[in-house]
Amino acid sequence: MSTPTPQKPKKPAMSIEKAQKARRKFLQSVGLAGGVIGLSLLGYIPVSSAKTPRLRPPGALNESDFLSSCIKCGQCVQVCPVQAIKLGDLNDGFGVGVPYIDAREQACDFSCDAVQCVLACPTGSLTYKKPEFLKISDGAMLAAAPILKAKEKDAESTLNLKERIGVARLARPESCLAVQGKPFKGQTRGAAFTGKMRYMDVDRWKPIPIRDHPYDLELCDLCVQACPVKNALELRPVKGADGVERMTPTVLEPCVGCGVCEMICPAEPAAIVVDARAPWKA
Amino acid sequence: MSRFTELFMGMLGAAPKKPEKVADKVQKIMFLKYEDKDRYIKEKLHAREHHNVSHKWRNRRWAVLLAVNLLFVLSFWLDIQILEGSLTASRFVGFHLIDLNSALQVMLAHKHIIVNLFIGTFTVFLIWVLLGGRTFCSWVCPYHLLAEWTEALHLKLVEKKIVTDHEFHRGTRTVFWVLFGLMSIVTGYTVFETLSPTGILSRALIYGPGLALGWVGLLLLFEIFYSRRAWCRYVCPIGLTYGAVGAISPLQVSYHVEHCFHEGDCRKVCLVPHVLDVTVKGRASEETMGLGPDCTRCGLCIDICPTGALRYEVKGLSKLL
């Protein structure tokens, strides 16, 4: 303070008012930066506090890789023939604009055969074959390429998919009609349900609303019937706690986690659900 | 410092400087202009009187902006598949078009050069090198249009002295550009994309509205009541990325000092008035000067200029003709 620098008189002295103005502007700019950055980091909350992970489209990378590599363009949404793919909103935090599937509302039934969403993805967030530097989670790898029931008789009957996106689970056996030995007749999910599915006996290329395809089954095996993957789901006699054998939907290794069983299940809430990102456990 | 570097630094936030040397021709022009003050004033008033205030370029620009965004919407809705995807990444009749800033954020977050993505940026890169990067802002970005409309409201409120504009330091945007990049690297999430009103609006138009529009609404309110065009001016890294890409663009708005009365109407309508610093009396060093990489080539200054001192120009082409 006591020794003024020799250069000082050379510089035109800034008026106090001007200096204050500049200082205020600087502080406001810092405030703006802090504010916007602070707000953007709120995106962490939904990502880190999510109780159940989102079901991602087939071929999705592991969740953290998926969120980092997705460019949020929605091209996967555009190619899906059953409109199964939706985009995350602001309540998904950093997952805003990132595709997910709400299987109960509309599951992926692979009616496009070729997994079009993977083909559409420009960043490899959805991929047929993971690059080597990306880790494959335990229990995600499928033992063999899944055989698509719809293509079973074709020369190429398999689906180009290496990893599962989840695994189905009979979450509420007590409400499962098969377990109760009950039949099913009519529209599953009711007349207002808008979900679609491909029925090979109706049209190979055009999925139709499920409500337009009523059923009449002596013993409900809707989930097994609808499951698009061969040998992924079966009705098997399983002994309950009371020692009585009941026909029970049993999930097998080829299950890819598409969620069609959850969509088609007439029980409310669904007796069988898909656990997104869950590993296969023998 | 070369003029190019100076303009580039100006885009990053440096204050414009007075020219060190003014060309002889410009000195002569300035001398002649102010030689006879009465004549000067008369000419000025004459030019004002005969200026048909048009919105030619604004209208053309709005039409292009709406058409591009509508093409995205219709490609999906009507399944005509011309321009699929949204502004962050799309396919134009099959060709990948990847937004440069989005690709950058993705690769920083993912920490891998995604080859397909990289290839997809080439076409976009080329387009904006030729047309001038920030042309994207005013001719394509849907947030720019909304912000233009709310800016009109802001200016009305300022005129009625209900609100005042709070200016931030323009260098804040450069800081944001670095911070968003760093955050992508550190968090592994494309943090900027969470906030980007460009991406949010593009997706909302194509895939339907959502809560994220609330954030865009807040931004617009902030711009109406607190700071004019704050997002585009002080925050958005897309603008800076494209600005850098278009720094060598041959298409630019050029300034011809001979026709200018230095009234500053252009600077009042400009999103980035620092690029029009040359229009201040005594700041032009050459007869014809390009406006620099931060200019969005929106054409508002061209529309408002009563004397045609500002024009669109393709560098080198005028000499060639």
Q: Do B171 and B205 belong to one domain?
A: yes
Q: Do B179 and B273 belong to one domain?
A: no
Q: Do B215 and B302 belong to one domain?
A: no
Q: Do B37 and B141 belong to one domain?
A: no
Residue A249 · residue A176 · CB < 8 Å: yes
Q: Do B101 and B233 belong to one domain?
A: yes
Q: Do B266 and B236 belong to one domain?
A: no
Domain end marker among B244, B277, B305: B244
| pLDDT confidence bin for A1, thresholds 50/70/90 | very low
**For residue A256, which of A119, A129, A161 has the smallest C-alpha distance?**
A161
Closest chain B residue to A34 measured between Cα atoms?
A: B176
A28 within some domain: no
pLDDT of residue A75: 95
Radius of gyration of chain B (CA): 21
The minimum CA-CA distance between B25 and chain A, rounded to whole Å, is 31
B36-56: per-residue pLDDT in tens?
888 888 888 888 888 888 899
On chain B, the residues whose CB falls within 8 A of the CB of A90 are 194, 210-212, 214-215
A282 within some domain: no
- Give me the domain span that covers residue A249: 53-276
On chain B, the residues whose CB falls within 8 A of the CB of A94 are 187, 189-191, 194
Task: Find the mean pLDDT for residues B228-244.
Answer: 95
In this predicted structure, the answer to whether residue A39 has a pLDDT above a threshold of 80 is yes
Residue B171 · residue B13 · CB < 8 Å: yes
Cβ–Cβ contact B194 with A under 8 A: yes
ipTM attached to this prediction: 0.90
Interface contact B175-A33, CB threshold 8 A? yes
A240 within some domain: yes
On chain B, the residues whose CB falls within 8 A of the CB of A96 are 193-194, 200, 212
In this predicted structure, the answer to whether residue A11 has a pLDDT above a threshold of 70 is no
Q: Do B41 and B149 belong to one domain?
A: no
A117 within some domain: yes
Q: How many domains does chain A have?
A: 1
Q: B residues 260-319 near A, CB within 8 Å?
A: none
B87-102: per-residue pLDDT in tens?
999 999 888 999 999 9
Other beta carbons less than 10 A from residue A63's beta carbon: 18
Domain end marker among B184, B219, B244: B244
Residue B296 · residue B246 · CB < 8 Å: no
pLDDT of residue A220: 95
- Higher per-residue pLDDT: B176 or B319: B176
Closest chain B residue to A70 measured between Cα atoms?
A: B106
B4-30: per-residue pLDDT in tens?
899 999 999 999 888 889 999 999 999
A with B: how many residue pairs have Cβ under 8 Å apart? Answer: 145
Token code pair at residue B196: 């980007």
**CA–CA distances in Å: residue A88 to residues A174, B73, B117, B198:** 33, 19, 22, 16
Interface contact A29-B171, CB threshold 8 A? yes
Q: How far apart are CA A117 and CA A114, in angstroms?
A: 9
pLDDT of residue A10: 56
On chain A, the residues whose CB falls within 8 A of the CB of B121 are none
E strand spans, chain A: 85-87, 99-101, 166-170, 184-186, 196-197, 208-209, 215-217, 233-239, 245-251, 272-276
Q: How many domains does chain B have?
A: 2
**Phi and psi of B156, rounded to 5°?**
-65, -45
Residue B133 · residue B126 · CB < 8 Å: no
Average pLDDT taken over every residue of chain A: 90
Residue A241 · residue A81 · CB < 8 Å: no
Q: Do B211 and B101 belong to one domain?
A: yes
* Angle at B187 (CA atoms; ends B181, B190), nearest 5 degrees: 55
pLDDT of residue A6: 52
Residue A99 · residue A166 · CB < 8 Å: no
Q: Do B28 and B173 belong to one domain?
A: no
| pLDDT confidence bin for B319, thresholds 50/70/90 | low
A180 within some domain: yes
Interface contact A68-B109, CB threshold 8 A? yes
On chain A, the residues whose CB falls within 8 A of the CB of B172 are 29, 32-33
Q: B residues 94-113 near A, CB within 8 Å?
A: 96, 98-99, 102-103, 106, 109-112
The minimum CA-CA distance between B156 and chain A, rounded to whole Å, is 23
- Give me the domain span that covers residue B299: 3-50+252-320
On chain A, the residues whose CB falls within 8 A of the CB of B103 are 71
Residues β-bridged to residue A101: A55, A85
Closest chain B residue to A92 measured between Cα atoms?
A: B194
In this predicted structure, the answer to whether residue B152 has a pLDDT above a threshold of 60 is yes
Residue B117 · residue B177 · CB < 8 Å: no
A265 within some domain: yes
**CA–CA distances in Å: residue A101 to residues A80, A250, A274:** 11, 23, 11
Domain end marker among B222, B244, B266: B244
**CA–CA distances in Å: residue A201 to residues A83, A149, A187, A191, A256:** 21, 12, 17, 21, 23
pLDDT of residue B34: 87
Q: What is the pTM of this model?
A: 0.91
